[in-house]
Amino acid sequence: MSLTQSITSDGAPGSILLERVSKRFRKRTLMRKNYTTVKGQLLERLLGPSDKDSGMFTALDTITVKVKPGCSLGVIGRNGSGKSTLLKLVSGIYRPDSGSVSVNGRISALIELGAGFHPEFSGRENVYLGGVMYGLSRKEIDARFDDIVRYAELEDYIDDPVKTYSSGMYMRLGFSLAVHTDPDILLIDEVLAVGDAGFIHRCHDTISDFRRRGKTLLFVTHDLSSVERWCDEAIWLDKGVVRGRGEPRRVIDLYMQTVNEAEEEKLLRENEAAADAAPTSPQEISDNTAAQDDDDEREIRDPEREDGPGRWGNGEVEITDVKFLSKSGEKKWLFSSEDEAVIEVDYTINRPVKELAFGIGILRVDGVAVFGTNTGLESVEVPLPDFSVPVQGGFKGTYRFHIERMGLLESTYYLDVAAHKSDHTPYDYHHRMYKFSIRCTVPFHGVFNPKHSWSFDVSYATEGKTTRLEGTC
Amino acid sequence: MLRNVTEMWRFRTLISALVGRHLNARYRGSVLGFVWSFLNPLCLIAVYALVFKYYIRFNQVDNYTLFLFAGLLPWIWFSTGILEATASISGGGSLITKAMFPAHILPTVSVLTNLANFLFAIPLLIGFMLVLGVTPTWNLIALPFVLLNEGLFLLGLSLALAALNVHFRDIQHILGNLITLWFFLCPILYPVTVIPAKMRFTLIFNPVALYTSMYHDIFINGQFPSMLEFVYTLAVACMTFMVGNMIFNYYREEFAELV
């Protein structure tokens, strides 16, 4: 049902059509200085509107969206891309500044948790008030009341004031009410996320059932997997324009690719900023700290050093640049789990040293040490130059650490690099100064993604004949 | 305007449920609860009676306390109703911004909630009349018509002010002061007869003053309200209702963005 929406009578119920719709907001609305004063209005009248466009923010810019009855459309996009505005236009809460919105059929909208609920009133009273708001008569609500409460799993709390409800309870009651009003179109704006696993499961069932009955679903979410599961079509909004539309998988990939690129750029900037901010030379470390640093594991786990980035060592060898390179040699800080990569470290030997070892450490952002090694551990000899030859500006070198396959799961990681003596006394230790991210298409559990495959071998005998099924994946 | 009226009818269950819930909510959590809706006007009447009847010794009216009673009850409906209605949309919160909610229901509910309070107090007024030996007359049948008349006026004013207040929040503060002035311009503390005859014509600019006289006629004077005044105020009320709806419709599309 739509309360303030013009309902077109032609065609099957459940269609949504937005034609060349634009929506702009005044900036002052966004800044929450959301009302004018008589004085301000008078001044504006007298002085003339001051450059109208500069004070406006375009939330949606001439977009056309068509949803056929029985179709489910997922809307994805970053925060502030206009997704919620789109939903509010469809539900009739907002009017478009230009273009037309026509909606055919009864709408139920779940735009915000508990919107329309009165906190002082019991769940029961709110079900009745909400039902009436959705256009049901008292009798119709009576008939559905038990179902609504049972579905929301609120039998024991239905007579408590809703202000005592948890956000999950709010959501369950709102969702239950919305689906029990028998709408032709269901609008959902990212509210299901607060439900517990059990309820989410039933939401999924309900939405599947809803789709099976040929109802229309318009769905805004950041959970891309549910878009893929539920939607026949997806649109990707970016800064108020449609950047992609069509088959969900394709739109999601397109969206993810752009998000990843943006994130890569951000990581690049961050790492550059971190390198700039870090001490330009390693800090001298005191003797007692050095004595404790007897193995890499403890070094990384040292809780005092886990707070933030740091750099220490006596500076006899200095690490001057750290880069993550892709297979093709370009600088990158975002990789897929399957990617090949090279860590390239430039260093300068400032004073003659008798021994030199290099280390690499990878920490997950939550502090889990994922991997650590050094040249000493793997008996790799680091070539030392002939120090008897006088050179200007020290001996410069580069070491590369080749990774054939990242094998990490989706997360953000810190990269530690170090130059040290064989007893781990550091020349230059860069801790948590570099950040990189891994993207993984499958949401695996754990920390490690070994190269793997599945195969099957099933056999059974029937009337002397043995059937074998085989499969690999 | 027609759409507003038909929608009000369509959502009558919602309106009545909301009125119920407001009446309930107003005194929820207070010990005396609903009794307050009687106690509040009674306290006011007691103070006015003390000041004007015993301190100032105002003796132009018989049964001055009863006179106050009959004038104050509708005034409380009018003043509280308009103040609540004005703030109803700007204070509507997520109902306006996040839910598919017909906005004009909110001022309507404010007006009706306070009307209900007024109606609940009428038996008290009649009881008071009986105690003082003033018998209610058949003229009481005029009451619903006067209520409808004033209700239309109040609703029109409320819709306009509620819509304007979303844009100009000064209105609710200005109105708070204005209402006090308005109170003294209505013949509630004094009868119309104390106004010099030359000045009496000014009352036609104040429909609420005319309504007050009508309530006095119905309850105390035991006479039917002047037909001329009734028709005149009804015309003003209809105009106000129409203009109120126009102003409301002009602004309604921006409520969700500005609240």
For A6-64, write each residue's pLDDT tens digit. Answer: 444 455 688 889 889 998 887 654 444 445 555 555 655 555 544 444 577 888 988 99
Residue among A1, A35, A114 whose CB faces B169 most closely: A35
CA-based torsion, B224, B229, B230, B233: positive or negative: negative
Sequence ranges of the domains in chain A: 16-257, 287-439
In what helix (H) or strand (E) does residue A461 lie, and over which residues does it extend? strand A455-462
Of residues B246 and A117, more confidence is placed in B246
Has this prediction a pTM greater than 0.80? no
Confidence (pLDDT) at B176: 92
Radius of gyration of chain B (CA): 19
Q: Where are the beta strands (DSSP E) in A214-368?
A: 216-220, 233-238, 241-246, 310-312, 317-326, 334-336, 341-349, 357-364
Q: Where are the beta strands (DSSP E) in A114-227?
A: 185-189, 216-220
Nearest CA in chain B to A111: B98
ipTM reported for the complex surpasses 0.85: no
Nearest-neighbour CA in chain A from B14: distance (Å): 6
Pick the CATH number of A287-439 from 3.40.50.1110, 3.40.50.150, 3.55.40.20, 2.70.50.60: 2.70.50.60
The answer to whether A416 and A360 are in contact (CB under 8 A) is yes
Please tell me the total number of residues recorded for chain A in this structure: 473
- Strand A411-420 relative to strand A426-439: parallel, antiparallel, unpaired? antiparallel
Nearest CA in chain A to B19: A129
Nearest-neighbour CA in chain A from B117: distance (Å): 20
Quote the Cα angle for A272-A276-A277, to 5°: 115
Q: Which residues of B touch A25 (CB under 8 A)?
A: 257
Confidence (pLDDT) at B35: 78
Where are the alpha helices (H) located in A278-364, listed in sequence order? 287-292, 296-301
End-to-end CA distance of chain A: 48
Question: Which residues are paired to A444 by β-bridges?
Answer: none
Residue B85 pLDDT grade (very low, low, confident, very high; cuts 50, 70, 90) = very high
d(CA B44, CA A281): 80
d(CA B8, CA B20): 16
Of residues B93 and A170, more confidence is placed in A170
In one letter, which amino acid is B245?
N
Residue among A35, A111, A133 whose CB faces B14 most closely: A133
Confidence (pLDDT) at A5: 42
Please write down the HEC assignment for all residues of B237-259.
HHHHHHHHHHHHHHHHHHHHHHC
The answer to whether B215 and B71 are in contact (CB under 8 A) is yes
| DSSP-based three-state secondary structure for A215 | coil
Confidence (pLDDT) at A34: 45
Across the interface, whether the CB atoms of B170 and A109 are under 8 A apart is answered: no
Nearest CA in chain A to B96: A93
Confidence (pLDDT) at B208: 96
Confidence (pLDDT) at A26: 75
Sequence ranges of the domains in chain B: 2-22+35-258
| Exposure class string for B21-56: b at 16+ Cβ within 10 A, else e | bbbeebeeeeeeeeeebeeebeebbeebbeebbeee
Where are the alpha helices (H) located in A49-196, listed in sequence order? 83-91, 123-133, 138-152, 167-180
Structural tokens at position B251: 């602004």
For domain A16-257, the CATH superfamily is P-loop containing nucleotide triphosphate hydrolases (3.40.50.300)
Confidence (pLDDT) at A47: 56
CA-based torsion, A242, A246, A250, A252: positive or negative: positive
Q: Which of A27, A132, A177, A190 to mutate to test the interface with B (most CBs of B within 10 A)?
A: A132
| DSSP-based three-state secondary structure for A351 | coil
- Strand A216-220 relative to strand A185-189: parallel, antiparallel, unpaired? parallel
| DSSP-based three-state secondary structure for B31 | coil
pLDDT higher than threshold 60 for residue B158: yes
For B168-221, write each residue's pLDDT tens digit. Answer: 889 999 999 999 999 999 999 999 989 999 998 999 899 999 999 999 999 988
Grouped pLDDT means (10 residues each) for chain A, 473 residues = 41 82 73 52 56 70 89 89 88 87 86 76 86 83 92 90 87 88 86 77 84 88 83 90 89 86 82 69 48 41 54 88 88 88 91 89 87 90 84 85 91 90 87 87 85 87 78 68
Q: Which residues of A touch B169 (CB under 8 A)?
A: 35, 37
